[in-house]
């Protein structure tokens, strides 16, 4: 059977993050990608200039169209900027008994632009996080979800991950990419286990879409039948190498994208 994953997220007009990054990741990892677009953004490598939210009833129509026809093996959820969108997605996933849900709680773009309305955070915690197999916050998102200061070490990261676990997801992958240590350490935390995912920190300004890419890479692994631990390990490796190859691309004048197709594109 063909492995299929769906991304439910916002569109990035510059192609580096959001729906575009997710579909590139699915394709690079051998998974057929479907999409449900929740918002349109006017953005580039330097920032977000406008956001146009997709009406909740049209989000519902997209979800129903995809799930009634395609055999969806995994779901990646990204940008949901409004309460109505969160509710529409939660109801749609419940209606279609969606499995292998990877939730990336997108709150702020790499440029620093806010992508999630403050009043939507409570809805995200109540309606979607409990449905997730894994939630993948970065350090800033974890702090916002737990109302705690930014984690300074792995002990802080674990404590915040466990706070998020109390909201109901089965697993939390708290990402250390925004830290300043020599290694980028992510913690995969479940009720009974902690797994460290470690990779050398790569010096580059081209990191636009890193979080989207990691969560969609995990979803791709789940769609192919991998267990969560293996999918997370393989996703970490893929993202690390896509960052390592990012400077091979010349895209924009700000924070450029990862090189999603580093395995197949010519380096000349």
pLDDT tens digit sequence for 40-76: 999 999 988 999 999 999 999 999 999 999 999 999 9
Residue 27 pLDDT > 60, yes or no?
A: yes
Residue 25 bears catalytic tag? no
Mean confidence (pLDDT) of the chain: 92
Residue 107 pLDDT > 70, yes or no?
A: yes
Residue 192 pLDDT > 90, yes or no?
A: no
Confidence of residue 219 (pLDDT cuts 50, 70, 90): very high
Confidence of residue 181 (pLDDT cuts 50, 70, 90): confident
Residue 112 bears catalytic tag? no
Of 182 and 158, the one with more pLDDT: 158
pLDDT at 137: 95
Q: pTM, whole model, 2 decimals?
A: 0.95
Q: What's the whole-number mean pLDDT along residues 243-254?
A: 92
Residue 15 bears catalytic tag? no
Residue 177 pLDDT > 90, yes or no?
A: no
pLDDT at 266: 64
Confidence of residue 106 (pLDDT cuts 50, 70, 90): confident
Catalytic site residue from 60, 136, 171, 207: 207
- Location of structure tokens 């580059």: 204
pLDDT at 108: 66
pLDDT at 179: 59
Q: What's the whole-number mean pLDDT along residues 87-109?
A: 93
Instruction: Give the integer Cα–Cα distance in Å for 89 and 63.
Output: 8
pLDDT at 180: 66
Residue 196 pLDDT > 50, yes or no?
A: yes
For residue 62, report the phi and psi dihedrals to the nearest 5 degrees.
-65, -45
H or E segment to which residue 52 belongs: strand 47-53
Catalytic site residue from 10, 18, 92, 211: 211
* All structural domains of the chain with their residue ranges: 4-138+202-248
Catalytic site residue from 175, 177, 236, 256: 175
35 contacts 6 by C-beta, under 8 angstroms: yes
Catalytic site residue from 60, 92, 136, 212: 212
Confidence of residue 268 (pLDDT cuts 50, 70, 90): very low
Smallest CA-to-CA distance from 214 within 181, 189, 186 is with 186
Instruction: Give the integer Cα–Cα distance in Å for 213 and 104.
Output: 10
What is the percent of the chain with per-residue pLDDT over 90, rounded to a whole number? Answer: 79
pLDDT at 109: 59
Q: Considering the domain 4-138+202-248, what is its CATH architecture?
A: 3-Layer(aba) Sandwich (3.40)
pLDDT tens digit sequence for 139-159: 989 998 999 999 999 999 999
For residue 41, list its beta bridge partners: 12, 51
Confidence of residue 115 (pLDDT cuts 50, 70, 90): low
Residue 176 bears catalytic tag? no
Residue 203 bears catalytic tag? no
Residue 125 bears catalytic tag? no
H or E segment to which residue 140 belongs: helix 139-146
What is the percent of the chain with per-residue pLDDT over 70, rounded to a whole number? Answer: 94
């Amino acid at each position: 059977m063909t492995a299929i994953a769906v991304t439910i997220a916002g569109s990035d007009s510059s192609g580096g993050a959001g729906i575009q990054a997710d579909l590139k990741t699915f394709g690079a990892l051998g998974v057929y990608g479907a999409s449900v677009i929740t918002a349109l953004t006017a953005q580039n490598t330097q920032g977000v200039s406008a956001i146009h939210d997709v009406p909740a009833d049209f989000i519902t129509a997209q979800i129903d169209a995809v799930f009634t026809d395609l055999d969806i093996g995994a779901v990646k959820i990204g940008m949901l900027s409004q309460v109505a969108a969160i509710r529409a997605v939660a109801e749609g996933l419940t209606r279609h008994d969606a499995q292998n849900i990877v939730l990336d709680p997108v709150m702020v773009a790499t440029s620093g632009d806010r992508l999630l309305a403050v009043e939507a955070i409570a809805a995200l915690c109540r309606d979607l996080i409990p449905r997730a197999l894994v939630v993948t916050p970065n350090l800033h998102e974890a702090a916002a979800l737990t109302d705690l200061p930014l984690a300074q070490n792995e002990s802080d990261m674990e404590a915040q991950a466990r706070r998020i676990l109390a909201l109901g997801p089965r697993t939390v992958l708290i990402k250390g990419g925004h830290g300043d240590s020599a290694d980028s350490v992510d913690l995969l935390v479940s009720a009974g286990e902690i797994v460290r995912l470690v990779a050398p920190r790569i010096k580059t300004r081209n990191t636009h879409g890193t979080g989207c890419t990691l969560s969609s890479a995990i979803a791709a692994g789940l769609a192919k039948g991998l267990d969560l631990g293996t999918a997370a390990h393989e996703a970490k490796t893929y993202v690390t190498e896509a960052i390592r190859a990012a400077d091979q691309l010349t895209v924009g004048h700000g924070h450029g994208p990862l090189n999603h197709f580093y395995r197949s594109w010519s380096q000349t």
